[in-house]
Each structure stands twice: as C-alpha cells, then as structure tokens.
Structure 1
Amino acid sequence: MATIPQESPPPFEASHTIDLISVDDSKIANVSLYSGRAEITRIYKFPVKTGQNQVSISGLPNVLDPESLRVEGRGAATIHDVALSDIPEPVVASMSPDLEDLLSKQEWNQKALERAKKSLASLEAYLSTLNVQHINVTELGQVMDSYDIAGEKLDKKVTELEKTLKGIEADIKVERKKLTGPTRDARLRKRATIGVFANSEGEVEIVLIYGVRQANWTAGYDIRVDMEAKDKPVTLIYKAGITQNTGEDWDDVPLTLETASPTFGVDIPTLSPWSLSVYRPVIMKKSKRNLGLAPRGMASQYASNTYGSLSMAVHERDSEIDTPGIHDSTGIEHRELAVSSKGNISATFRVPGIITIPSDNASHNVTVVQLKLDASMSWVTVPKVDARTHLKAKIKNASEYTLLQGTASVYVDGSFISRSDVPLVSPQESFDCPLGLDPSIRITYHPRSKKVSHSGFYTKSSVHVFTQRITVFNTKAHAVNDVKVVDQVPVSESSQITVKLVSPSLSVPEASGTGGEVQAPQAVKVGEGVHAQWEGADEQGIDMEHLGRDGKFHWVCAVPSQGKINLVLSWEVSAPLHTDIVGL
C-alpha cells in the first residue's frame, strides 16, 4: 500500500522589525495649535517586506495625549494594531578600562602639578629669606643664576603638567560620552509600536497624528488710529504669541491657529437629587464615662435646629469619559487643512508660509493678519469729578476673523497712548476701545449757583434752586459729533425731601396704560445739536423701571470747529422749613 507523502507546513516567517526615531526619520507636515494644546501631523516613509512588519517609532514627546493618537497610511499594506508605551531610562555604564586608566593618569598629573607648584613657592620663600649683608657681591650673581635656572625648570614643568591635564580631561569627556551613547532629550520618551502587514515588498507611508500639551498661543493686537482719515480710520494688526515646550522643535512647518478649545469627555452636567427631610436627633444614653457628651463627629448635628433642617443629598457619579480608540485606516490621502472662519463658535487661521518654533517655552510672535476697520469716535467727560475728556472708538469687526481676548497696544496718530484689553469679538460685532485723553476738547465746570425761597401759608417749606453751567470748547480744526457729558442730580431718601430736575426736563419712565410695559423715554432736545437722556438709556438690557432713579444723566453734543456749547443743569430741592438737609 503506497503511502501519500504528507506536505510539511510552510515555515513560520518572523516579523520584520523596523526601528525609527521620530525626530530623525520623519517630517512634520502640519501643526494645528489650540489654546493649551497642539495637534501634530508627522509623515514617516520606510521600506517594508512582504508579510508582517513591526514598526517601532521612538522619541515621541512625553506630553503626548494617548487618546488623541491616530494612524493613517498609504500604500499596499494594512495596519493591524497600534500601541503606545514609555521608554525606560537607559542603564548607563559608569566605568570602563580606558576611563579607569585616564582617571588614574589625571590623578597622578594633578599630584605632580601640586608638587611643582609647592617647589616653586618654596624657592620663592627661600629667596626672600636671604640677607644681602651676609652674601658677598661675587656670590650674589651665582645665587641669582641658580634661582633663574631652578625657577625656569619648575615653570616649564608646571606648564607641561597643566597642558597634559587639559588633554586628559578632554579624553575623559570623550570616553564618558562613549559610555552614555548619543544624548536624547528626556522629554521624548514615548514609543509607538505599529503592526503593518504588507502585501508586497516596497515603500509605505504612515501618518501619525497626535495631540500634545504644553503648547499655547495667545492673541495680541496693535491698534493704530488715524484721526484725520475719513474712511476706515483703524488699522488692527492681529498677532499671535506662540509658546511650546513639548520637546520637539517645529522646524519649517505649516502652522494653523485654532480658536476652538478641544475637549474630551466633557458631558452636559446633570442635577443630583435634592430632597427635604426632618432632622431627628440621636439621643445618647448618659454614662459616667461620657457624661452625656455627644460622640466625636456628631457635635454639628446637636448644634442644628431641633425642629427641622434643610439637607441636600449629593450622589457621586463616576465620570463616564468616552475614550476614543485609535483609528487605523489605509489608503487615505493626507489632506492639507483649509483656511476658514467658522463664525461665533471657532475660527481657523493659516499662518502665511512656514515657521520655526523651537521647544524653548519662549514666546514667538507672528502676524496673523492686518485689517482696515471702520470706527465711530466718541468723547466722554464727567466734569463733576474730572474735567478732562476721554476719547474712545467703537470699532466694528467687519472681517471674517474672530478676535480672541487679548491685550492691545493703542497708537493714535503714530503716538503710543495706552494698553487696552480687547474682548472676544465675533465677525460683524463691535467693541469699544479707549484711546486715552483728548486735550483738544476742553470742559469748564463753572461754580454752582444757589437760590433759596420759602412758600406755603400754613405749612412753610423752603425751596433750594441750584444751577450748574458747563462749557464745552472744541479747539479742533473739524467738528465733533459725539461728545458725551455726564452729570447727576441728588436723590432723596426721605419722604420730606423732594428733588425735581428742571433742566434738562427729563421724565422718569412710567408704565403704559395698555400693556403695563415700561417704555423707554425719548431723548430731549435742549439746543442745536444737543440732546439729553438718562444715563444707561442707550445701553442694551437696561432695567427701564430703575432708569433715572439714581439721578444720573448725560448730554450728547455736536460741537463745531472752534465752537463752544453751554450746558445748563438746574434742579430744585423742597423740604419743610428748618429741615436740616444732609448732602447739599
């Protein structure tokens, strides 16, 4: 009976191992920088063999977020698994035969140098002890010659020993460097291990995308105002201060600035149960040992209200953070991020060209964009407190860029004025920018006048009439249309005292007869180009029921070039005769 030969199984093919160092064997294709973190895109190209290949990429930053790591690939291969681990500290040999021999030579030469220096010092000491009176003139020359010969010999020996020691120290450094091997940044001690199954031998490309901490950018601005310009008087230079200490230098990389803040595992919070219960004290039996005292930890319960208490039950909830897995994909093209503005939620800025940001934790400034913006100028003064006039601009962000909160250096007509804070401003939104003091708008707060009269037949009362004059003088070569002068009248806190605003004749808001809603009072015209209004009436979200109750109001004036405007404030205070009024 013929036997059928058994076919032997194919031999087991060992996995092909590929060791890569991230900084040396890859190129950063893109950096997306957020507030507090960055997303790095690195491209690796390497040859693979048919079958299983084990790719080890070492030197990844310690601040790498494991949950953010993902791998993409191009080529005739399939990614099987991805693992991230820490690289242990290398065990470094501290001694070798060559280093031991060099250290021995160093010690011998150091001792020889010390002996030579002591001999030289002794020779100098001996020469200083010689007395000329006890030495003949003929012998003096021989002594000096002997001193020169011995001193020259010792100087030469010291010089040679010092030179030899320098050479030995250099050799010791070289030998110790051989023992430690090439120095690697201690901040780069992460390793990614990737299993790649290749259908055929050839070159493949892997893209590693991962997030890192210790990278940040903050917004900064230069705001330059041209007071003579009629169209778009504001030039806003949008700058970014970039810092990173990830351990990786970003050399010649395309950089994208993101205004969004990526979050992981942040869910909408839920309310815990909130219940009411009646406090029931625990009665402890008295004994000779405790003498009726409450046990430790229950003193606060006995100090509570005996009849009842409010308690809130707080239940701890395990945070359920969705941990995204590492997504493996093949045959996916690596695409460059597009520059776009996404309105009020987030915006993306592509820094022009390429940029280099070393990992030094220092701030590196780049210009994002330069914008020409419209602005309306206004002047504000509170002459009762300070007669100086403040200039401010209401700037409209008529661009597609979201302005992040940051500090601005403000320049008016080329002169530095102040540093100001810019709030978060969405596209098409406006913000106020103070521009310092404007001495060309001069305010005179004249002395207040007062008249007192009496009225009433049976019930006598006194009436105090106050008048306050204010002069606004525009010394500019052009007219200004929005000068706001803020002032106030006193507010009565007693039913016996009545305060009445006479001029300007502003009325307190009252509810309408139909819907019961409080209507905002209209501005009162008090002169050519001058209107008066309660302070806050031009603001959004003002409580109309309390408008004017604090006695504060303002005039808005249009003042011609080299022109003056006189404002008059008049009010009456009435009270029973002989009433001592405090605050006038």
Structure 2
Amino acid sequence: MTATPTIHELETRDQHISQVKVFTDRAEIRRFVKVALKSGVNEVVLKNLTNNLTHGSMRVEGRGKATIHDVVVKNVSSLPQESDSPKMAALRATLQEEKARLQTIDDRGTVVQKSIENLDKVFGAVGGGLVNPPKEGGVSLNEGTLTSLKNFFDFYGNNSESYREKLRVIEKEHREQQEKVRKVEQELNLIQVKFHNNVVTQAATITLECTEETEAELDVIYQVQNAGWSPSYDVRVDTEKPSMNITYFGKIRQHTGEDWTGAQLVLSTAQPCLGGKIPELGTLEATFRVRHYPSPPQVMHMQTRSASLFGAASAPQPQCMTLGPPMEKMNVAVASEVTQNTLSTEFKILREATIPHGTNDHKVTVGIVTLSPKLVHEAVPSKNAAAFLTASAINTSELAFLAGDSSVYLNNAFVAKSHLKNVSPGERFTCSLGVDTAIRVEYKPAKKYHEEGGYITKHSANVTEQTIAIKNTRSEQPVLLTIKHHVPRSTDEKIRVKLVAPAAVPYDAEKATNESENAEPSEGAKFNSSNNLEWTVKLAPNSSQDLIVKYVVEHPKDETVQYHERF
C-alpha cells in the first residue's frame, strides 16, 4: 500500500525571486523555495504560476537530505481572487474600504435629510394652526404665545440653516468619495485587463522523498514569454579633444503576468528563439530561365533637404542661477560583472530591481565606454547631396555592442536619433553626427552615351560619366571627405564593367585583414566589399574640386542590362 504523500501548498508569488536572467525575447526566473519536509513522500505544490510559462522549461535544483523524483506542471481551476497579484489584492481591499466610507457618508446624509424634512413638517404644522385654527377652539395670541412663536421661528431658522449647510458639506464629501471609488475601480480594471485573469491557472507539483524530517531548499527555474530586453545608447562626441563617450543601456520590457520584486538582474545576449538545429542544404539545380523584357523602370529623383545640426551644437547654453558652490557630478551605476560565454555575453546588474508586470521601459546601465574617434566627413550624393560628419572609432572595450537605437549628442547638444549596428570588441564602426553645411556637395546630371563595336560579335558599350562638385567653405582647417558612389557589379560573364576614372584599388577578400578594415580613412580611391567606390579626398580651406566618376558597361548588342540595388 502506497503511503499518502504530505502536501505543501505554496503561493508562487510569495517565493523570493533570487535571479531574473533576461534574454532578448524571454526571461528565465529563478525562485528560492524553503520547505520543511516530513519523513516519506512530500509534494510541494506551487500554485498560480503565470500563464506565460514556457512549456517544458521548468527544472528544479535542491539542497538537503531529500531526493527529487519528478516535476509536473498542469492546469488547475481557480477563482479570480485566488490568482490575484499582491497589488490586485491590495486594490480590492482598498476598494472595499472606500465603498464603506461612501456608505457612511450616505448614512450621514440620510440622517440630515430626515432632520430637515421633520423640521419642515413641524414648521408647517405650527404655521397651518395659526392660519387655519380648529373650529372647536381658537388660538389665543397673547404676549406669551408670540414670544414662544418667536423663539420657535428662531430655532427653526438656525437649525434649518445648520442642517442644510451640513447637507451641502456631506454632498461634497459624497462626490469626492465617489471619485475615489471610481479611480480605484478603474485601476483595478486596468490591472485585471493586463493580467488577463482566468479561471484556469498553472500549478507545479514537485515530488520529493526523505527518510526523516528535514529542511530543504529548492531553486525552481522556469522561462516565461512576453519579456525581453533591447539595447540603446547615448553617444556623446566632443570635437575639441576629440572623444566619444558611449553609455550602453538595457531597456527591459515585462508583461509576464507576475511581478519581479527585489530580483537580481542579468541581461544575456543569447537568443533561444533561433534554436540550435543546423539548417539542411538541398540540391541546387541549374536550369534555363525564360527571358522577359520588361520596360525600364522610371526613376524619380527627389531632393532631400537636411537641416544643419551644427548650429544647435554651437548655440549658447542657458544661464543657470547659482545658489551655492558647484556640486560633484554623480556617478552612474553600471553592470558589476560581464561574463563572456561561448555563444553569448551576460551583464550582471549592480543592484536588485523591482519590475512589475506591465513595464515597457525599465532602463538599466550596462556600461560606459570612452573611445578616441577619428572625425571624418562622408557623402552619398546619389542619395542625399549633403556631407555628414561621422565619428569613426575602434571598440577598444570588452563590451559587444548589439544593434540598437542611439541618441547622438555633439558638444553636449542633441543632434540626431541614429541606429548602432552590431560591433564586436576590436572592430571599427562609424556614427553619424549630422549634416555639416560648411561642406557643399553638388551632384550634377550624369552624362550617358552609347557606343557599338565588334566585327564578328557585335557588342554595346554604355558609358556613364558623373561629376560631383565639392567645396569646403571653412577658412581654418582642411577636411577629409569620403564620397561613396555606385559602380555596377557584373553578375554575368557577358557583362563587363570597367572603371575609367578614378584609379581605384580593387577589393581583395583574401588580402583583407582585420587591420585593414580597422584602418583610418586615407586619401585615395578603393572598392569596398559591396563593390562600391569609396573616394577620399582632402579639401583645403576655402577650396573646391570636381570629382569625376566614369565607368563603361559592355554587353552583347541584343541584350538589355538592368540595374538592381541589393542590400
């Protein structure tokens, strides 16, 4: 005969969260459970688990003289009040108290209203007796009667006014108390909508066995959906030094249906959603494609105007009234520990945090990095006829920057919202600082002409000549400007592309090294890995120059070449 197990029912939300590891698309919760076990079989039941629990993710680790046999998670029926969070339970209690106060005010108002009605009845009865006296007996109006009437009228006037003033005060209290009740009801309804209260919740049953009574400590670990974190950055560039200060933030969102109270936070760059299965490779078959001759697409050129962001940078700072000696600048708490794993990086946040359900933007500081940038100008005139100041730097820190939004400040003035790409330690990256209106870029209309040649095999040659006029209006210093421009890349051996001007260094993937990729921009023309031309020139103060990009595309006469921009 199997012995009846000892049941230990515990509320999940009452068990302390020792750690929350937040991934980019979910979170892993570690709760500490302490329980006094009886000799024999024990079942520890954790009630009201979140419905956002990831199926199959729960595991249990323990310490003590007991054996863990199994862990079972199942759906159970419950009343809405049983699955209330602590905040919801507190709001329900507050709502009952506010409704009780409202009822007390109602009762006071009823008593005062009855007093006014009764006083009016007495006054009406006395007045009616004077105007319409009974037939059998009259009313004798003597000095004593008149004195009594005067005293009665004074009593009625004073008390009627007092009662009505009390009623007005009570009515005001009633309106204010009704508003308090309404606000608590709205807050409770809002939280109920967020938590999606159900009559079905999840419960975990942990079966343990021990030979004697003992204290056991359990670490219950499970993953939840509807949580995650994303990076964001404050990039501050000082052009005088120059220096680049990057503050690395982690923005946490939490809609898991449970509150994280006093938890140690760890942000992980691991992405469990990608899975660990290697994709299979099918057979690549080569077949003839049916040719289509679509009409050439119409391209619309749109001029984009970019406002200068340097005027804001040089604007005078507002004067602040000084009330005493300057105070020390506050330090910023950053991640206390950075752990590099095989496939990910983990950032342990310095202090415990409380993040309730429904949080969209809980920001913590991962780290602060100071770099020495190279300030250069870049332009893509075919897209935008403006010169952008960019800060080029090598990530000399141990932090890997994940792709995320960034706010860019130039000389303590906000200039732009940007996006930072993935940057590994030791890798060079660039950050746009806005448009420099002192550098003028003019993208002139391209000259295009067609040639035909060949004696046996006729071929066509399309020649494109593009002039880009650049000018440095500054009178103090030279400027290093990099022009980026398309040069078509052939995808067919019958299409031959030749760059006539300028003389450019071709891109060689075999010779490309990390050192060359991290090298600072230098004068000259070269092709990058995307087969785009990067032409860097040095513009002296108050000087201008015309850059000519010329290339020839040769192809069979009976073929039409189309150009598609692919990223």
Q: Equivalent of 2:7, from 7, 17, 20?
A: 17
TM-score (norm 1): 0.56
Per the alignment, in what secondary structure is the counterpart of residue 68 of structure 1? coil
Aligned to 1:258: 268
Map of 2:528 onto structure 1:
539
Shift of the 49–338 alpha-carbon distance from structure 1 to 2, 3 Å rule, reads farther
Pick closer, same or farther for the CA change 1:538–1:117 going to 2, 3 Å: farther
Give the secondary structure class of the aligned counterpart of 1:353: coil
Q: Work out which of the two has the higher radius of gyration on C-alpha atoms and give 1 or 2.
A: 1
Q: Aligned runs of 1:58-137 on 2, under 5 Å?
A: 58-90=47-79, 115=114
- Secondary structure (helix, strand or coil) at the match of 2:399 reads coil
* Distance in 1 separating the partners of 2:251 and 2:216: 37
Q: Which moved more, 1:58-67 or 1:192-201?
A: 58-67
Percent identical across equivalent pairs? 28
Q: Deviation of residue 341 (structure 1)?
A: 2.4
What residue number does 1:401 align with?
399
* Aligned partner of 2:435 among 434, 437, 454: 437
Aligned-partner residue type, residue 225 of structure 1: V
1:556 maps to 2:536:
yes
Inter-CA distance 414–159: structure 2 relative to 1 (3 Å threshold): closer
Q: Confirm whether residue 40 of structure 1 aligns to residue 23 of structure 2.
A: no
Partner AA of 2:228 in structure 1: N
Q: Do the aligned residues in 2 keep the contact of 1:341 with 1:401 (CA within 8 Å)?
A: no
Query: What is the deviation of 1:472?
Result: 2.9
Distance in 2 of aligned mates of 1:467 and 1:52: 84
CA apart distance, 1:249 = 2.5
1 CA distance for matches of 2:71 and 2:46?
11
The amino acid across from 1:402 in the alignment is: A
Higher helix share: 2
Which secondary structure does the structure 2 equivalent of 1:398 belong to? coil
Q: Which residue of 2 aligns with 1:54?
A: 43
Q: How many residues align?
A: 406
SS at match of 2:55: strand
* Matched position secondary structure for 1:29: strand
Alignment-derived partner of residue 208 in structure 2? 196
| Larger deviation, residues 56-65 vs 196-205 | 56-65
Change (3 A) 1:83 1:150: same
Query: For 2:104 and 2:527, how far apart are their aligned partners in 1?
Result: 88
Partner of 1:472: 471
Q: Deviations over 1:62-105 (max 9, x none)?
A: 21123100011111111122222334223889xxxxxxxx9999
Within a 5 Å distance, the mapping from 1:373-412 to structure 2 comes to 373-381=371-379, 388-412=386-410
Specify the alignment match of 2:289 in structure 1.
none
Whether the 8 Å contact between 1:116 and 1:157 is mirrored in structure 2 is: no
Amino acid at match of 2:440: I
Q: 1:486 to 1:201 in 2, by over 3 A?
A: closer
* Other-structure match for 1:206: 218
Match runs of 1:458-497 below 5 Å: 470=469, 472-473=471-472, 475=474, 477-480=476-479, 482-485=480-483
> Where in structure 2 are the equivalents of 1:245-394 lying within 5 Å?
245-263=255-273, 267-268=277-278, 339-342=338-341, 345-381=343-379, 388-394=386-392
Using the TM superposition, give the Cα deviation of residue 417 of structure 1 relative to its aligned residue in structure 2, in angstroms.
Answer: 1.0
2:154 match: secondary structure: helix
Cα distance in 2 for partners of 1:194, 1:385 equals 62
| Residue 119 (structure 1) shift | 6.4
Rate the CA distance shift 1:147–1:392 in 2: closer, same or farther, 3 A: same
- Deviation, structure 1 residue 339: 3.8
CA separation in 1, counterparts of 2:123 and 2:282?
Answer: 90
Question: Aligned letter for 2:402?
Answer: L
In structure 1, runs of 5+ residues without a counterpart are 1-10, 94-101, 127-137, 170-182, 276-336, 451-465, 490-499, 511-528, 548-552, 572-584
What is the CA distance between 1:228 and its match in structure 2? 2.4
Residue 243 in structure 1 maps to residue 233 in structure 2: no
Structure 2: any 5+ residue segments left out of the alignment? 83-100, 126-145, 179-191, 286-335, 448-464, 488-497, 507-520, 551-567
Question: Is the CA contact (8 Å cut-off) linking 1:48 and 1:201 kept in structure 2?
Answer: yes
Query: Does the aligned pair in 1 maintain the 2:37–2:215 contact within 8 Å?
Result: yes
Q: Deviations over 1:497-542 (max 9, x none)?
A: xxx99xx9547999xxxxxxxxxxxxxxxxxx99664xxx432142
Change (3 A) 1:40 1:121: farther
Distance in 1 between residues matched to 2:151 and 2:530, nearest whole Å: 108
Q: Is the 1:380–1:389 contact (alpha carbons within 8 Å) kept by the matching residues of 2?
A: yes
SS in 1 for 2:160: helix
Question: 1:193-229, CA deviations, whole angstroms, 9 ceiling, x for partnerless residues?
Answer: 1111112222111110000112111110011112222
Q: Secondary structure at the match of 2:57?
A: strand
1:226-237 → structure 2 map (5 Å cutoff): 226-229=238-241, 233-237=243-247
For residue 443 of structure 1, what is the amino acid of its counterpart?
Answer: R
Note closer, same or farther for the CA distance 1:407–1:156 as it changes in structure 2 (3 Å cut). closer
TM-score (norm 2): 0.58
CA distance in 2, matches of 1:103, 1:568: 81
User: Quick one: which amino acid aligns to residue 41 of structure 2?
Assistant: Q
1:410-465 deviation line (CA, Å, top 9, x unaligned): 111221110001122233333332110224x43386999x9xxxxxxxxxxxxxxx
